[in-house]
Amino acid sequence: MTSNGFQRVPTTDPDNDEQDGDVVPPMNQASLRPTRVSRVHYDESALLRPPQTHLPALYEEGGPRRPARKSTIETYLDEETRPAPTRRISLARKSRTERPDLDELKKEIRIDEHTIPQEILYERLRTDPLKGLTSEEAKKRLDKDGPNELTPPVAESEWRKFAHHLFGGFSMLLWIGFVLCMLAYGLQYLTMRPEDITYDNLYLGIALLLVVVLSSVFAYYQERKSADIMNSFKKMVPKFTTVIRDGQRQSVHTVDIVKGDIVQVSAGDTMPADIVIIEAQSFKVDNSSITGESEAQIRTPKFTSDNPLESKNLAFFSTNAMQGTAIGVVIYTGDNTVIGRVANLASNVEHVPTPLSKELDHVILVSTSIAFLIGGIFFILSLIYGFHWLDSMIFLIGLIVAYVPEGLQMTVTICLTLTARRMAKKNCLVKNLDAVETLGSTSIICTDKTGTLTQNRMTVAHVWMDNNIALADTTEDRSGLSTIDVESPTWHAFNQVARLCNNAEFLPDQEDKPIVERLVKGDASETAIYKFTELMTPGVAPYRAQHKKVAEIPFNSANKYQVSIHQRDDGPGHLLVMKGAPERILKMCSTVLINGQDVPLDTNTTIHYNAAYEKLGEMGERLLGLCRYDLPIDQFPDGYPFDTEEVNFPMSNLQFVGLVALIDPPRASVPEAVQKCRKAGIKVIMVTGDHPITAKAIARQVGIISEGVLTAQELKQSSPMRRRRGHTSATAQATVIHGDELRYMTEDELQHVLRAYSEIVFARTSPTQKLRVVEGCQKMGAIVAVTGDGVNDSPALSKADIGIAMGIAGSEVSKQAADMILMDDNFASIVTGVEEGRVIFDNLKKAIVYTLTSKGPETLPFICFILFDLPLALGTAMILLIDFSTDLLPAISLVHEKEEKDVMRRPPRDPQNDHLVTSALLQKAYFQSGIIEGLGGLFAFFVVLGENGFWPRTLFGIRPEWDNPLDDAVVDAYGQEWVNLVFRSEALTTILQCLFASSELPTTESAGTNGANCLLPCCGVHPVVQCVDLPVETLLYLFLRNEELGVEFLADI
């Protein structure tokens, strides 16, 4: 009892470790206390015991069961003789050029330093909590363990990176063409007379060399991520840290911190290493970089979970202290810290080739196979027809080069660049060009919750008062969604407590901004309540000034409530207001304010309270209870010396006024975007570090879990009637997997979950678990996109087929690890990117059809040359001119084609079967359009030569005489070589072909209509090129022929 006769409330509750506002089970009606899972104490037989699993398909009756694990923790006082904890390895490398063991990095973190009593921990680390280490001992440990910094990844030389682009992928096909051109020119140079040598192959080879070098230089500057990722991690590390050494406080370089150091941290500091908390005062840390939790987490000396990421007595390297002070002992440094493992995993994880790179490899394989097949066949035929082997070899090389799509790489690169620019205008910033198409191929999206699906701002969603749940409206325009009865006397009391029992306040100079966009000094919960009250009743700051605060007990992890006492504005006296964890607040109350009347807190009122508590909890909302008490003026007159240490004022028999429910609400555009993904055949999986109840509630609101669909866990707990109807957990289509369940799953069990359920939520996941989920999806053959904004997401972002980071809330590390950045942090922008990716895949197919169509007609003159002894109707120089002038721009224009009508109604393409180049595409390019175009070229060739006296029957077999050097200047009155008529006809027929290639729909429906604005001007390049054809051929003739024939050629003009 206090001096005033009031009962003192205990300041600690060993049975309750719930955080402020945590979602907890409903109240027990009989005891008015919530049902609660017992916390883990120092029971060594239970320290490493796996949690109970809830996988219905795996753990129901008849399913496989995992045998119970038996494990104990032994105490070793000597650090040198203690065996390493389970799955904890030292990542310190023998050499800074060695790569870490990725298999070990991917394993779950298992440490026991936080589970043992502090005295044993000090003995193990050989340190003193009061005096710390000696300087001599610290130096020995620093020499042994190395500096407290992250080891940079093994750097690949810049030349090797450039060589990868120069000789890898499609570049190799162009190198083959280059080598063959040089070989053909070399054979001519060595075996022919100088006057017979042509330079076509030389110039074509040089052109191919320029294309491959320029494309490689462009690609090289697109990708430099690994070193940037590690540099981003290093920026998170503080430079100096306060430690206790030799019994005195010292400021040392963070890189000199060692295991066993006693460190002191306070609000604003960054954790210098992984530490076990040994003392704390209202200490909170931002764990979002490790676990993804958006709320600041309370840290205390109490051990609360064997899972190190869940225990409250651990603080991790690089996390920020948000409130209070603490003293801790360092247990791990550098690469051995949790963030060190994440950094090494993100920088060294195996990168999978993008679907587009695989498709281009497939194009190379197909093109090369066809080229060598056709070339080989006609090489043999040329030998059969009596050609000299050298002529046959040169002919073989020319045929192969003719089949190489020289302009395709440039076409693909430019198309992807243009699409990336278009996506940037839609808030999708592309870092890796291949990612443009990868997003369109995505079949599974693993998305984070906070900031991506939600608005990343805590908001008041509901209030419970007068035995009713009312919807709160926190929109700026007051759109009328609120159902709060502002005329109720209870609302006035509720609003009074919410405004006064709150320390949040707006930062200065923001009057011109909307209330919801103003910056606030205060934590997320108080910020949400402050903005809510300001919107409902503007002028909170002046109201507080009228009710001067005279005493306060701030919130802490032991009390789980906040109390403040204020002077009344309507006369003498004081008002006590309180908010905090609902179960703690309710225990201090004896009455409930209903419709302005004090009603005893009996069984009837408790039923209403529990119903609201359970309903709001199922919605994933965080609850805070509010209460008040008018202090008697005779006992607490003005000037009364309130003592918050000895508590000389009432803390019981208070008046409960209601509940306030907080949530980070979904973005308005997300539900529609999720539905679009479903229609497009894309599976959306939520992977979050948040609470399972909150995660499930948001998943239902945005449509990841369909309306009315029960999860496997809910069906397992459902009524016998439902189970008799066949609705069991084994038939469920949705499930929520806790990180502790995932921790003990085998790979086969994870694969079962991913395949058996169409709607999946993973909650309370660690960085390695997120990576494991991504790898599990990839093992199914899926193309996986991953979204994330925290450091904890970086390994999964690096491993994904396409990593997508948040541009506003995303950390620098996540942005460096990602392939794409959402500038508005909106999930709906991903769907826009998916549509753009599918459109570019369609348009690339059109461009490839158009590009490959000319390969057959370019080859046909060579075939006629050898089989029918016709004059060579198309020279190598003209092939080059077609590929890089008349073909290139129209092919690029196809990237501007609008989407097909069914682009977002198709299932994702199967990367194993649905290729960029298919048999149907080759048939259309080579046998449909190609034959028509080739025959058109030969028809023009025969018609024009026939009009000038060379009838078709005389052309067959004329090749030997035609190639005679004495007759080499066969030209017409305009100086045009007649054989180049094939060039003109093929160039003109490509206009019609480009129009037909511009749509995959029937020609009569939309051919040439989607992108006509860009397509028709690009097709206009054909007559331009033909207009300059005369000077081009004239120059070629002057440089490729000897001087006497050049003079004769000019004289004929």
Cα–Cα dist 277/267, whole Å: 15
pLDDT at 195: 75
CB crowding 460-499: b at 16 or more within 10 Å, else e: bbbbbbbbbbbebbbeeeeeeebebeeebebbebbbbbbb
Count the alpha carbons within 13 Å of 370 in the hemisphere toward its beta carbon: 20
pLDDT at 292: 66
Cα–Cα dist 461/612, whole Å: 13
pLDDT in tens, 298-315: 899 999 888 888 899 999
CB 319 within 8 A of CB 285: yes
In which element (H, E) is residue 230 found? helix 226-234
Q: Is 329 helix (H, G, I), strand (E, B) or coil?
A: strand
CB 126 within 8 A of CB 259: no
Q: How many CB atoms lie within 10 A of CB 70?
A: 8
**pLDDT for residue 89 is more than 60:** no
Amino acid at 592: V
Give the range among 478-482, 689-693, 752-756, 853-857 with minimum mean pLDDT: 478-482
More confident residue, 854 or 980: 854
pLDDT at 914: 83
Percent of the chain at pLDDT exceeding 90: 28
- Residue partners of 313: CB distance under 8 A and separation at least 6: 114, 276, 277, 299, 300, 301, 302, 303, 304
Q: What distance lies between CA 11 and its chain's CA centroid?
A: 44
- Residue partners of 1024: CB distance under 8 A and separation at least 6: none
- Residue 375 pLDDT level (bands cut at 50, 70, 90): confident
- Residue 587 pLDDT level (bands cut at 50, 70, 90): very high
CA angle 577, 582, 586 (to 5 degrees): 70
In which element (H, E) is residue 590 found? strand 589-594
Q: What mean pLDDT, rounded, does the chain reach?
A: 77
**pLDDT for residue 113 is more than 60:** yes
pLDDT at 965: 56
Structure tokens at 191: 């075996």
Q: Is 215 helix (H, G, I), strand (E, B) or coil?
A: helix
Catalogue all structural domains in the chain, each as residue range(s) with its CATH number: 102-145+230-348 (2.70.150.10), 353-422+844-1052 (1.20.1110.10), 429-454+667-825 (3.40.50.1000), 459-663 (3.40.1110.10)
**pLDDT for residue 358 is more than 70:** yes
- Residue 466 pLDDT level (bands cut at 50, 70, 90): very high
Cα–Cα dist 149/569, whole Å: 57
* Best CA proximity match to 937, nearest among 857, 1018, 999: 857
Q: What average pLDDT does range 681-688 have in this prediction?
A: 94
Cα–Cα dist 852/363, whole Å: 11
Give the range among 541-555, 600-614, 785-799 with minimum mean pLDDT: 785-799
Highest mean pLDDT pick, 478-487, 541-550, 738-747, 785-794:
541-550
pLDDT at 625: 96
DSSP conformational letter for 820: E
- Residue 290 pLDDT level (bands cut at 50, 70, 90): confident
Percent of the chain at pLDDT exceeding 70: 75
- Residue partners of 373: CB distance under 8 A and separation at least 6: none
Cα–Cα dist 1011/998, whole Å: 8
pLDDT at 238: 67
pLDDT at 919: 84
Cα–Cα dist 239/242, whole Å: 11
More confident residue, 878 or 79: 878
Q: What distance lies between CA 429 and its chain's CA centroid?
A: 12
User: What's the start-to-end Cα distance of the chain, in Å?
Assistant: 120
Q: Is 761 exposed, middle or buried (0-12, 13-18, 19+ CB in 10 A)?
A: buried
- Residue partners of 911: CB distance under 8 A and separation at least 6: 355, 358, 441, 781, 783
Q: What average pLDDT does range 841-851 have in this prediction?
A: 85
Alpha helices in 442-523 (DSSP H): 489-500
pLDDT at 102: 65
Structure tokens at 78: 């000597």
**pLDDT for residue 1001 is more than 80:** no
**pLDDT for residue 224 is more than 90:** no
Cα–Cα dist 765/489, whole Å: 44
- Residue 877 pLDDT level (bands cut at 50, 70, 90): low
**pLDDT for residue 18 is more than 50:** no
Cα–Cα dist 14/549, whole Å: 31
Highest mean pLDDT pick, 65-74, 477-486, 849-858:
849-858
Q: What average pLDDT does range 4-25 have in this prediction?
A: 39
- Residue 370 pLDDT level (bands cut at 50, 70, 90): confident
Residue that is written with structure tokens 């100096």 in the block: 240
**pLDDT for residue 348 is more than 90:** no
More confident residue, 750 or 151: 750
Q: Is 383 exposed, middle or buried (0-12, 13-18, 19+ CB in 10 A)?
A: middle
**pLDDT for residue 643 is more than 60:** yes
Residue that is written with structure tokens 């090289």 in the block: 220
Cα–Cα dist 861/383, whole Å: 18
Q: What distance lies between CA 971 and its chain's CA centroid?
A: 63
**pLDDT for residue 560 is more than 80:** yes
* Best CA proximity match to 274, nearest among 315, 309, 223: 315
Give the range among 212-221, 248-257, 409-418, 692-701 with minimum mean pLDDT: 212-221
As annotated, the active-site residues are: 448
Cα–Cα dist 740/769, whole Å: 10
**pLDDT for residue 1002 is more than 50:** no
* Best CA proximity match to 656, nearest among 912, 466, 839: 466
pLDDT at 856: 79
Strands (E), 645-771: 654-663, 683-687, 734-738, 759-763
- Residue 50 pLDDT level (bands cut at 50, 70, 90): very low
pLDDT in tens, 937-992: 888 888 877 777 778 888 787 767 766 655 544 444 333 444 554 544 555 455 44
- Read out DSSP for 393-418? HHHHHHHHHHHS-TTHHHHHHHHHHH
pLDDT at 993: 54
487-491 contacts, C-beta under 8 A, 24 or more apart:
488/595, 488/596, 489/593, 489/595, 489/596, 490/465, 490/466, 490/593, 490/594, 490/595, 490/596, 490/657, 490/658, 491/465
CB 530 within 8 A of CB 520: yes
Structure tokens at 758: 């169409």
More confident residue, 95 or 568: 568
* Best CA proximity match to 657, nearest among 598, 573, 584: 598
Q: What average pLDDT does range 693-713 have in this prediction?
A: 90
**pLDDT for residue 1027 is more than 80:** no
Cα–Cα dist 688/695, whole Å: 7
Cα–Cα dist 622/1029, whole Å: 75
Q: How much is the pTM? A: 0.73
**pLDDT for residue 453 is more than 80:** yes
pLDDT in tens, 233-287: 556 566 789 999 999 999 999 999 999 999 999 988 889 999 999 999 889 898 8
* Best CA proximity match to 132, nearest among 226, 287, 245, 255: 245
Q: What average pLDDT does range 786-802 have in this prediction?
A: 86
In which element (H, E) is residue 365 found? helix 355-384
Sign for the CA dihedral angle at 963, 966, 969, 971 comes to negative
pLDDT in tens, 329-346: 999 998 889 888 887 887
- Residue partners of 640: CB distance under 8 A and separation at least 6: 574
Q: What average pLDDT does range 444-473 have in this prediction?
A: 89
**pLDDT for residue 671 is more than 80:** yes
* Best CA proximity match to 230, nearest among 159, 320, 157, 335: 335
**pLDDT for residue 121 is more than 60:** yes
- Residue 720 pLDDT level (bands cut at 50, 70, 90): low
**pLDDT for residue 1023 is more than 70:** no
Give the CA dihedral 852, 856, 857, 860, nearest 10 degrees: 160
- Residue 75 pLDDT level (bands cut at 50, 70, 90): very low
- Residue 139 pLDDT level (bands cut at 50, 70, 90): very high
- β-bridge pairing 549-553 and 561-567: antiparallel
Structure tokens at 44: 């060594």
Cα–Cα dist 460/481, whole Å: 13
**pLDDT for residue 5 is more than 60:** no
**pLDDT for residue 101 is more than 70:** no
Q: How many CB atoms lie within 10 A of CB 116?
A: 18
pLDDT at 177: 77
CA angle 343, 436, 416 (to 5 degrees): 125
**pLDDT for residue 530 is more than 90:** yes
The backbone torsions φ and ψ at residue 262, rounded to the nearest 5 degrees and listed phi first, read -95, 120
Give the range among 95-99, 211-215, 793-797, 969-973 with minimum mean pLDDT: 969-973
Structure tokens at 793: 């997401």
* Best CA proximity match to 148, nearest among 249, 270, 312, 266: 270
Structure tokens at 900: 């097909």
Give the range among 468-472, 522-526, 558-562, 875-879 with minimum mean pLDDT: 875-879
Q: What average pLDDT does range 678-696 have in this prediction?
A: 91
**pLDDT for residue 925 is more than 70:** yes
Q: What average pLDDT does range 29-48 have in this prediction?
A: 34
Q: How many CB atoms lie within 10 A of CB 89?
A: 14
* Best CA proximity match to 526, nearest among 545, 544, 548: 544
pLDDT at 307: 84
Cα–Cα dist 552/500, whole Å: 11
Q: What average pLDDT does range 862-875 have in this prediction?
A: 79
Cα–Cα dist 488/594, whole Å: 9
**pLDDT for residue 445 is more than 90:** yes
Give the range among 257-271, 401-415, 565-579 with minimum mean pLDDT: 401-415
pLDDT at 399: 76
